[in-house]
Amino acid sequence: MLERLKPFRYVAVAALALLIAGLVLARQNTGSQPASAAQVTPPPPGPGPESRPAPKIGPAKLVYKVETNDPVVFLTIDDGAHQDPAMADILRRNGIKATFFLTEFYAQKNPEFFRKLRDDTGSVIENHTATHVNLKGRSEVDQEKEIGPVSDQYQSWFGTRPTLFRAPFGSSDDATLQAAGEAGAKYVVNWGSEVANGQIKFSGPHEFRPGSIVLMHFKDTFEADVTAFMAQARANGLTPALLTDYLK
């Protein structure tokens, strides 16, 4: 009797197994529905806002002098190594508004000194790199590190973003002009003559001409240098003027 029922038991077990397999498959299909639905709406293709390149800003223009027929000469005073409260009076006495190209390495030691000197004399503060390295030949990324953050910092300290940049040693290349432009500078300003130790060092003819740009430094010879600059300016019938009134 039992022997005769055996085939039925196999059929029953097989049918039960098929039923369970069917139920499992049905559940899996149901469970996979939300996943399929999610795949219907993938994130939009293409780059997100973060990966979009910043708008390209044009390079700054390199100048050695200002093109003008006005009887003006421009005094630029660089770096900021020597700081003396008497400097304000020396500039005021000579009627000089100057352009201070400050290196952040020096400016950071006493931003208040330079802010006051600027305000007392009607001068302006511009960008002369973070650490006074020779920029020429360096990558644009390396040059940007020496220029852009300094303009950000000066905007914070002095309330005005530099629109002029001076390369250390007057040594620049195309990457300098581009990095200066990206930082918001319209001009990279070199110079013609230089005054040091109370003497003018002419780069060409022994005179200042309308639009000449003269280099000086914050040194302990400040008064002698200013005096020599003014004597030469007067000899050539020129009045000191601000670069930012002409380089716009």
Candidates 70-78, 118-126, 153-161, 180-188; binding stretch for Zn ion (CB under 5 A): 70-78
| CA angle 235–218–174, rounded 5-degree value | 90
Instruction: Please say which residue, 191 or 229, places its beta carbon nearer to Zn ion.
Output: 191
Candidates 110-118, 160-168, 197-205, 229-237; binding stretch for Zn ion (CB under 5 A): 160-168
Please work out the total of residues on this chain that contact Zn ion, with binding judged by CB under 5 A.
Answer: 3
Instruction: Please say which residue, 218 or 229, places its beta carbon nearer to Zn ion.
Output: 218
Instruction: Please say which residue, 72 or 150, places its beta carbon nearer to Zn ion.
Output: 150
For the CB of residue 126, give the shortest distance to Zn ion in the complex, in Å: 12
101: enclosing H helix or E strand: strand 99-102
Distant-in-sequence, close-in-space partners of 88: CB < 8 Å, separation ≥ 6? 116, 117, 120, 121
Instruction: Please say which residue, 80 or 238, places its beta carbon nearer to Zn ion.
Output: 80
How many angstroms separate the CA atoms of 184 and 226, rounded? 30
Residue 126 binding Zn ion, by CB under 5 A: no
> Residue 126 CB: number of other CB atoms within 10 A?
27
CA distances from 70 to 67, 173, 238, 241 (A): 9, 30, 9, 10
For the CB of residue 54, give the shortest distance to Zn ion in the complex, in Å: 29
Residue 78 binding Zn ion, by CB under 5 A: yes
For the CB of residue 83, give the shortest distance to Zn ion in the complex, in Å: 15
| CA-based nearest residue to 179, from 142, 234, 233 | 142
For the CB of residue 156, give the shortest distance to Zn ion in the complex, in Å: 22
For the CB of residue 43, give the shortest distance to Zn ion in the complex, in Å: 51
How many angstroms separate the CA atoms of 191 and 200, rounded? 13
Instruction: Please say which residue, 79 or 194, places its beta carbon nearer to Zn ion.
Output: 79
For the CB of residue 168, give the shortest distance to Zn ion in the complex, in Å: 5
Residue 79 binding Zn ion, by CB under 5 A: yes
Candidates 38-46, 72-80, 194-202, 238-246; binding stretch for Zn ion (CB under 5 A): 72-80
- Asked if residues 72 and 241 have their Cβ atoms less than 8 Å apart, the reply is yes
3-state secondary structure of 99: strand
Candidates 47-55, 143-151, 163-171, 184-192; binding stretch for Zn ion (CB under 5 A): 163-171
| CA-based nearest residue to 211, from 66, 22, 59 | 66
* Positions that interact with Zn ion (CB under 5 A): 78-79, 168
